[in-house]
Structure 1
Amino acid sequence: MMMKTQVLLLLLLGLCAAAHAGCNKRLLRGTALDGRWIGQPRASSVGACQAKCTAHPRCLFFAYFSRWKACQLLTNPSYGSYAYGGVTSGYSLKGCQPKPPGKDECKKLAVDTMFHRTSNVGRINNVASAEDCQKKCTAEPRCGFFQYLTSKWTTDFRKNLCALMSGLPSEKKAYGKGIVVSGYSLNQCPKN
């Protein structure tokens, strides 16, 4: 028992240091991190609980109890941790927020790359090119980036579709050849 407590304490100390050092996406299954309780909203999943923690201004980490769909939002991680079946703990993703594009990146079109969505601002059908899609994104004040599905897209109703997205993409993924083009609103470009 003493060894298990020491291992959990070392794990907690390492994770606390990581939580304050930026982005920590690691989830701890079967371990409840214990801290000062600041809220307990209901959540349908671990991901939903993590999103609630990230959105809360004081939440540093969370414990999600799947049996009750209870999401404990926590701060002050100095209280420890304990083994508990059916719980998954993790950290706020505030430190994982995407960075704005640099001067060179913001004007370039990312061919064969799909930017991960945040939330849709709108969709425009029958757009002639990725350049035209970028112009439409730049003209829409809420648009931060876009995805353009070319005429090679697999389903007819989505061909030449310009999807406008808010904010900045959280990740970028390679996609098939000539099927998708992504890019930023020119309003995201540094001014100098």
Structure 2
Amino acid sequence: MRNPPKKTKRKTGVYFFSSAHTPLSCPLFPKTNLPGHDIESLLAASPEHCQTLCSAHPQCSYFSYVGYFRLLGVFRNNFKCYLKNNMAEMVAKAEEGVTSGLPTHFCQLVNSTYHIPNLFHPNYWNHLTNMTSSLLTECAMKTLEGINLPGSDLRFLLVNNAKACQKTCTEDPNCQFYTYTIMLLLMLFHSSRRCYLKRVITMPAPPKVTKLANAVSGFSLRNCHY
């Protein structure tokens, strides 16, 4: 998980954060919750995936991803992505297991510094339209080891490794995300390496996220810029 960028300067309606990220990414803020103002909650495999869902939602202006929470002294997985709107009342709260951030179209790389524009400026929405045509939403290139995205299968095929599964998903116009699993068939003394290609009707939000040994999941790279 990334360390939160250091805030270096503040102006009215504009915030600047020093960062070494690439133009395709937007800073994430670990151990930070932005409670309230939820417009939708979805399952997500990682903070980056949650950011992708927020970027794809027309009303999402920020989000909080709850990877785990503590209940009666025991840490439990959650994988919940809370999409939010109402930046006028955005209040940060320190909280373990929660990562928050903004959709990628709110970020622009200017002289190696992230510039989050004034949302209330009269030219903001024109600016946003121009940015989204050149700066794609966060590309979830990171593979998720030990994560299973069950259900929503289009089909499965046998491949040698997770990278080949990712490539197959990217090349299939119907595939949004995938899960690659290695099942040990002890009676036959060999393993079955399956690549499950998956899709949901709207955003690439899996209906379920679970932990699973010998599984690798991820998303199509079809819309990525390199």
TM-score when normalising by structure 2: 0.36
TM-score when normalising by structure 1: 0.42
Computing the radius of gyration over CA atoms, which structure comes out larger, 1 or 2? 1
Q: Which structure's residues are more often helix, by fraction?
A: 1
